[in-house]
Structure 1
Amino acid sequence: MAERISKGKDNRREKGAAAEQAACDYLVAEGYAIKDRNWRRRSGELDIVAELGRLLVIVEVRSRSGSGRYGTAVESVDFRKTRQVRSTALTYLHYTQQEERELRFDVIAIEFDTELNVVSLQHIKGAF
């Protein structure tokens, strides 16, 4: 039974890494500069911190694969998650001494097929 749980966690980690890489590739192609990935502190984690000109963009990456019985990737960004990302972003701004930066929170939602090929990528600017 422990082996089965481990494989599930490995698959989830692999899917998360693939989603974040696809999101970074997309953002770079759109002219964003990636400043940080998986920035962690006690308050939480920021998936991607990017710049577009003078704008600092905090990007929450969400992914789904399979049947969609658990809802879409976009639907998984709930109030708790937005509060956690905002709190961690404030810590990031303070830690990197960028409190005066213009800031935007985006969501990139990625749908995968069973082989982890990107089926769709949706970029929601100013999501929260």
Structure 2
Amino acid sequence: MNNPKIKGKYKDLRKERGSYAENKAVSYLTDKGYRILHRNWRCRTGEIDVIAEQNHVIIFVEVRSRSSRSSAYGTAMESVTPRKVNQVRSTAAVYLHSRHCSDSPVRFDVVAVQLGPDGQVESLEHVENAF
């Protein structure tokens, strides 16, 4: 039988690791000259992890992370499914419409963060125009 306390602790740890990876991704993007407009922007269609701007291009960034313990489930980059791509695109359309910037150039990036056994970043991969 499942122990709800253990399940809750696992979920909290997963959220903590996800937040940590997202913070590292934002630091990386900022260091590369991106201006962060929003983090965790939500609407009825979903959530976008990071919305940034660089050279007058609005960039929607999906941050994915994996720990070395979860490597059996594939890499962080491999976790970007067609369903996720559609959800991010739909949410981006809502964002652009709500901000009256539908004519702005846009790009969809992925930042994949691999965490080691100690919870620290082993690698960070930034793919521009990922989808």
TM-score range, shorter chain: over 0.9
Map of 1:46 onto structure 2: 48
Partner of 1:114: 117
Deviations 1:63-92 (A, max 9, x none): 000241110000000100000000000000
Give the whole-Å Cα distance in 2 for the aligned partners of 1:29 and 1:77. Answer: 24
In the other structure, the counterpart of 1:56 is 58
The answer to whether the 8 A contact 1:51-1:57 is kept is: yes
Aligned residues: CA RMSD: 0.7
59-68 or 85-94, which deviates more: 59-68
Deviations, residues 27-64 of structure 1 (Å, cap 9, x unaligned): 00000000000001110000000000101100000000
Which residue pairs with 1:27 in the alignment? 29
Say which of 93, 96, 114 aligns to 1:93.
96
Q: Percent identity?
A: 47
Amino acid at match of 1:33: R
Alpha-carbon distance in 1 for matches of 2:25, 2:109: 11
TM-score (norm 2): 0.95
**Deviation for aligned residue 1:116:** 1.8
2:86 aligned partner? 83
**Matched residue type, 2:92:** A
Query: Structure 2 residue aligned with 1:12, among 4, 11, 14?
Result: 14
User: How many residue pairs end up in the alignment?
Assistant: 128
Per-residue deviation at 1:16?
A: 0.9
> Structure 2: 5+ residue runs without aligned partners?
none
Aligned partners of 1:18 and 1:116 also within 8 Å: no
For residue 97 of structure 1, report the CA deviation from its aligned partner: 1.5
Q: Under a length normalisation based on structure 1, what TM-score does the superposition of the two structures give?
A: 0.98
Task: Specify the SS of the correspondent of 1:69.
Answer: helix
CA shift for structure 1 position 96: 1.4
| Displaced runs of 4 or more, over 2 A | none
Q: Secondary structure at the match of 2:113?
A: strand
Higher alpha-carbon deviation: 73-82 or 61-70: 61-70
Q: Render the CA deviation track for 1:1-33: whole Å, top value 9, x for unaligned.
A: 010011011011101100110000000000000
